[in-house]
Amino acid sequence: MKSKRLGRQTVALSNPPAVIASANIGGKMEGQGPLKAWFDEWDEDSFFGQKTWEKAESFMQKKALQRALDRAGLSPEQIDYVFAGDLLNQCIGTSFGLREFGIPFYGLYGACSTMGESLALAALAIDGGFAERCAAMTSSHFCTAERQYRMPVPYGSQRTPTAQWTATAAGCAILSDAADDAPRVTYVTCGKIVDKGITDASNMGAAMAPAAYDTLRAFFRETGTAPEDYDRVITGDLGELGHAIVRDFFARDGIDLGENFVDCGLLLYDRTGQDMHAGGSGCGCAASVFNGYILDQLRKGVWKRIVFAPTGALLSPTSSFQGESVPGICHAVRVDA
Amino acid sequence: MKSKRLGRQTVALSNPPAVIASANIGGKMEGQGPLKAWFDEWDEDSFFGQKTWEKAESFMQKKALQRALDRAGLSPEQIDYVFAGDLLNQCIGTSFGLREFGIPFYGLYGACSTMGESLALAALAIDGGFAERCAAMTSSHFCTAERQYRMPVPYGSQRTPTAQWTATAAGCAILSDAADDAPRVTYVTCGKIVDKGITDASNMGAAMAPAAYDTLRAFFRETGTAPEDYDRVITGDLGELGHAIVRDFFARDGIDLGENFVDCGLLLYDRTGQDMHAGGSGCGCAASVFNGYILDQLRKGVWKRIVFAPTGALLSPTSSFQGESVPGICHAVRVDA
């Protein structure tokens, strides 16, 4: 049976791939947060025993993939493709993290939407009959991201109130066409680049909110569903401000997103005990929350169906220096228990 | 009918998507080279009328996509997905080049293999029934690449003999499931990350050669074909040294790649009249040669079938500064007239 295209952006998978295993890893802050119990591993050492933070980020990807493979009882040879990327220039977190596995690799750049993009493409590859098993993964590291996008960490520069904290974390999901009793990716909605002219690179939540609104609206329209049909509608790292903006956009359309509309960036850290300003961000934020807490709630049947819609800010320091605004993108997947 | 997986890396498309239109654009050097007649447009001005080189690169992507759409007689609304990426940090050539089109977007990072990766994923999306029409595209710019990877151009640093010249160019292909009389993508082979320990970032041909060998070997093995079955086996930008290394690797296996084994980086510039050292490189090299010269030979029936296998070097200046070697990747597609 062919998958059904429900509209320009959404595909209803006819043989929804199962997420047969997942793994995540975090840093010190992530291990001290409210989702502590849902991390497979976390390390006080931001270097994870490596010589540089970049190597530490690659190490996190390697660990997450290896642990997910171990849980699935699979060797790297049994994975047909890995879809992955990260925030670093030329995605070196991924290329150096995955090079030893020898798995056919499609490299992605979706900024912090990468966990959504990788899940979407992995699910399509399996549903299309092109693969039996795929891995989807991504990572971020506070110190590599600060050095690259903003200031070196030792400089100690002050962060603005709208700034978010890049998570030091990685997450990996293994998808399979086998009929396991596991959460399944049932719908995939591909996002468009949306740019509403926000130029403040310290306010990424606001820059990404229009993309989240655009993709979620397309998802609900094309699937003929409403926010109340889901146990959770989960954005990736909009943070406090961006999340409120999306809620406001929907409210203007007469749609109340309600209490089930949550954000990985607001779940990952203690909003009062940990001073993360507007919340968490980074590819690893949505990736570690999805591959730990979210999948666990689905596996336990606490939630029956969710929408997972991480957003990415498609800027670079160079584009900001050149006065450009911040384009955003959001890729959504529906996952059923 | 389901597509056939011929092995771990290769898919035989059951309804091979047609490349119904293509377009390319180049800079001064590209317009003075031997493939001059196969450029839709080239500009003496490296800024293409823009304020910065980065904006010029985005402008090239915009122009290439618009021209390909015009040729296909399509509006952006008629394209289901665009698969694209580039070499710049956070792929800003792509995100700023495509943001006005409003086409659902899957962002890729495959370095100089991006034209192969984007064609592969666009073809799979159509063959899987997830899309009717997709765009596949990428770009590079000599000045943005030099500034980012090496030295600012005005510094005038001397290039090593093994260095390659990053093409200032972009190319775009429109793929469709419609039964036009056009070249078709018939097989897709996904590459693995291959790293043989080359640490000289000025010798990317040598760093990428093992990946080209690995993917081409998988392609021939899994399709049960040999180099002589093709009118051309075309790598992306291995340049003089990398190309010779791949030829040598195959020779050790007793396989003569013959005269039909060519490289876009060796075709794009005059090897004696233009001093490009080891040849052309950059995502735009393979993209502009594929979407001009190569497709034209297929459309005219000069060639019946080709393998197009661009390679990418998955390094960043940071990974090189940290003493890392240069991992490579190569994605291959077979295109039949």
Instruction: Taking residues B68-94, report their average pLDDT.
Output: 98
Report the gap between the CA of A57 and the closest CA in chain B (Å). Answer: 12
Query: Which of A3, A50, A89 has the most B C-beta neighbours within 10 Å, making it the best mutation to test the interface with B?
Result: A89
Residue type, B335: V
Tell me if A132 sits within 8 A of A126, measured CB to CB: yes
**The CATH number fitting domain A184-336, selected from 3.40.50.300, 3.40.47.40, 3.30.70.3290, 3.90.1150.10:** 3.40.47.40
Phi, psi of B309, deg, nearest 5 = -135, 75
Tell me if A308 sits within 8 A of A328, measured CB to CB: no
The CA distance from A109 to B107, in Å, is: 5
Instruction: Taking residues A33-42, report their average pLDDT.
Output: 97
Rg, Å, chain A Cα set: 18
Contact A9/B at CB under 8 A: yes
Structure tokens at A283: 């590819």
Helix (H, G, I), strand (E, B) or coil at A60: helix
Contact A93/B at CB under 8 A: no
CB–CB of B191 and A5 under 8 A? no
Which residues share a beta bridge with B25? B170
Sign of CA dihedral B11, B14, B15, B20: positive
CB atoms within 10 A of CB A132: 17
CB atoms within 10 A of CB A196: 15
Q: What is the pLDDT of residue B178?
A: 87
CB atoms within 10 A of CB B219: 25
pLDDT tens, residue by residue, B37-74? 999 999 999 999 999 999 999 999 999 999 999 999 99
Q: Which residues of A158-195 are buried (b: 16+ CB within 10 A; e: fewer)?
A: ebeebbbbbbbbbbbbbbbbeeeebbbbbbbbbbbbbb
Q: What is the pLDDT of residue B3?
A: 67
Helix (H) or strand (E) holding A220: helix A204-223
Q: In angstroms, how far is the first alpha carbon of chain A from the final one? A: 22
Q: Which residues contact A53 (CB under 8 A, 6 or more apart)?
A: A46, A47, A141, A143, A144, A147
Q: Which residues contact A272 (CB under 8 A, 6 or more apart)?
A: none
The CA distance from B217 to B255, in Å, is: 10
Contact A197/B at CB under 8 A: no
Q: Which residues of A19-31 are buried (b: 16+ CB within 10 A; e: fewer)?
A: bbbbbbbbbebbb
Tell whether the model's pLDDT for residue A300 goes beyond 80: yes
Query: Which of A6, A11, A77, A106 has the most B C-beta neighbours within 10 Å, making it the best mutation to test the interface with B?
Result: A106
Report the gap between the CA of A169 and the closest CA in chain B (Å). Answer: 19
Structure tokens at A175: 């998808």
Residue type, B292: G
- Fold entry, domain B4-176: Peroxisomal Thiolase; Chain A, domain 1 (3.40.47)
Torsion of CA B300, B302, B303, B308, to 10 degrees: -70
Contact B195/A at CB under 8 A: yes
Tell whether the model's pLDDT for residue A92 goes beyond 50: yes
Q: What is the pLDDT of residue B1?
A: 45
Domains A17-176 and A184-336 share a fold: yes
Tell me if A65 sits within 8 A of A101, measured CB to CB: yes
The β-bridge relationship of strands A165-166 and B165-166 is: unpaired
CA angle B276/B280/B286 to nearest 5° reads: 165
Burial class (CB in 10 A: 0-12, 13-18, 19+), A270: middle
CB–CB of B117 and A106 under 8 A? yes
Tell whether the model's pLDDT for residue B2 goes beyond 70: no
The CA distance from B61 to B136, in Å, is: 11
Touching B: A residues 49-88, CB under 8 Å = 51-52, 54-55, 77, 80-81, 85, 87-88
DSSP assignment letter at B292:
I
The CA distance from B42 to B317, in Å, is: 29
Instruction: Taking residues B228-247, report their average pLDDT.
Output: 97
Instruction: Taking residues A169-175, report their average pLDDT.
Output: 98
Helix (H) or strand (E) holding A72: helix A53-72
pLDDT tens, residue by residue, A219-234? 999 999 999 999 999 9
Structure tokens at B271: 């090897």
Structure tokens at A327: 């384009």
The CA distance from A279 to A71, in Å, is: 31
CA distances, A133 to each of A20, A78, A113, A130, B240 (Å): 9, 7, 21, 9, 38
Q: Kindly write down the DSSP assignment for every residue of A114-125, as one continuous string.
A: HHHHHHHHHHHH
Q: Which residues of A touch B85 (CB under 8 A)?
A: 109
Q: What is the pLDDT of residue A2?
A: 59
Q: What is the pLDDT of residue A156?
A: 85
What is A17-176's CATH number?
3.40.47.40
CB–CB of A190 and B105 under 8 A? yes
Touching A: B residues 206-265, CB under 8 Å = none
Residue closest to A7 by CA, chosen among A273, A269, A192: A192
pLDDT tens, residue by residue, B106-128? 999 999 999 999 999 999 999 99
Domain borders along chain A are: 17-176, 184-336
Query: Which of A51, A193, A217 has the most B C-beta neighbours within 10 Å, making it the best mutation to test the interface with B?
Result: A193
Tell whether the model's pLDDT for residue B12 goes beyond 50: yes
SS3 content of chain A, % helix, strand, coil (to 5): 40, 20, 40
Burial class (CB in 10 A: 0-12, 13-18, 19+), B293: buried
The CA distance from B264 to B282, in Å, is: 10
The CA distance from B175 to B81, in Å, is: 10
pLDDT tens, residue by residue, B149-195? 988 888 888 888 899 999 999 999 999 998 778 999 999 999 999 99
pLDDT tens, residue by residue, A215-272? 999 999 999 999 999 999 999 999 999 999 999 999 999 999 999 999 999 999 999 9
Q: Which residues of B touch A314 (CB under 8 A)?
A: 90-92, 95-96, 99, 107
Tell whether the model's pLDDT for residue A296 goes beyond 90: yes
Q: What is the pLDDT of residue A332?
A: 98
Q: What is the pLDDT of residue A180?
A: 72
Residue type, A255: I
Q: What is the pLDDT of residue A284?
A: 98
Rg, Å, chain B Cα set: 18
Tell me if B106 sits within 8 A of B70, measured CB to CB: no
Give helix then strand counts, H and E, for chain B.
11, 16
Band the pLDDT of A142: cuts 50, 70, 90: very high
The CA distance from B149 to B168, in Å, is: 15
Tell me if A205 sits within 8 A of A241, measured CB to CB: yes
Residue closest to A54 by CA, chosen among A22, A113, A15, A94: A94
% of chain B beyond a pLDDT of 90? 92
pTM over 0.90: yes
What is the pLDDT of chain B when averaged over all its residues?
A: 96
Q: What is the pLDDT of residue A1?
A: 45
